[in-house]
């Protein structure tokens, strides 16, 4: 196995209401799951290949709960990545060189039935997990934005976190509100639904907890 490690920041928008039942072993509250994912890799290695500074993204659609399968996905990789970096990132994103079901990449891609051709494109992605703000833009394909949840009573920002000490994606995630429009191979429309902001530290064996 080629050892890899990614440290970075994530923004995810899915079709569930704030909280997302899936985070607690439940079923999606809309009966299906649609999701848009973006990650900025602050530090990363795949063997001797440096992945630092690159961005990745993906759009998923499952007709039911994720574990029931039959999903479809398209992966996006920063166009600045060279051939070795592209291969490394796609390997990681599809669960390769990873302990079985050790990361969300491995789990999610095990449920994908239709994998569309990967896209190597300019990715405009910025996220501040602690401030619950971010955006992902891929020209002609994805427009996602995230912000803090606002109180319907007085408009103040509400901060909530999910703590998953044994999770396969993060240890802590801040929860916000996000909206997405994806018009590429996997079309998705989401408005003011679950937004997940997190610092990620993953490697071939799962979430790094040290």
pLDDT tens-digit profile of 65-99? 999 999 999 999 999 999 999 999 999 999 999 99
Contact 139, 121 (CB under 8 A): yes
The pLDDT value recorded for residue 18 is 97
Low-confidence ranges of the chain (pLDDT < 50): none
The pLDDT value recorded for residue 210 is 78
Phi, psi of 30 (to 5 degrees): -105, 10
Q: How far apart are CA 171 and CA 180, in angstroms?
A: 25
Q: How far apart are CA 145 and CA 181, in angstroms?
A: 9
The pLDDT value recorded for residue 90 is 98
Which is it for the CA torsion 71, 196, 119, 181, positive or negative? positive
Among the listed residues 14, 18, 11, the one whose alpha carbon sits nearest the alpha carbon of residue 150: 18
Give pTM, 2 decimals. 0.97
């Amino acid at each position: 196995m080629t050892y890899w490690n990614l440290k970075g920041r994530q923004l995810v928008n899915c079709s569930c209401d704030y909280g997302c039942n899936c985070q607690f072993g439940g079923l999606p509250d809309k009966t299906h799951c649609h999701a848009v994912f973006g990650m900025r890799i602050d530090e990363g290695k795949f063997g001797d290949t440096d992945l630092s500074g690159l961005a990745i993204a993906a759009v998923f659609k499952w007709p039911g709960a994720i574990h029931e399968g039959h999903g479809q996905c398209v992966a996006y990789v920063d166009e600045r990545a060279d051939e070795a970096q592209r291969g490394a990132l796609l390997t990681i994103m599809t669960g390769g060189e990873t302990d079985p079901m050790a990361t969300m990449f491995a789990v999610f891609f095990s449920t994908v039935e239709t994998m569309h051709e990967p896209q190597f494109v300019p990715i405009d992605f910025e996220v501040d997990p602690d401030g619950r703000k971010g955006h992902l833009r891929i020209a002609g394909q994805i427009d996602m934005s995230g912000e803090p949840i606002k109180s319907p009573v007085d408009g103040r920002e509400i901060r909530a976190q999910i703590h998953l000490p044994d999770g396969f994606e993060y240890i802590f995630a801040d929860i916000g509100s996000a909206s997405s429009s994806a018009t590429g191979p996997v079309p998705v429309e989401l408005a003011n639904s679950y937004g997940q902001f997190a610092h990620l530290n993953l490697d071939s064996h799962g979430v790094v907890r040290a």
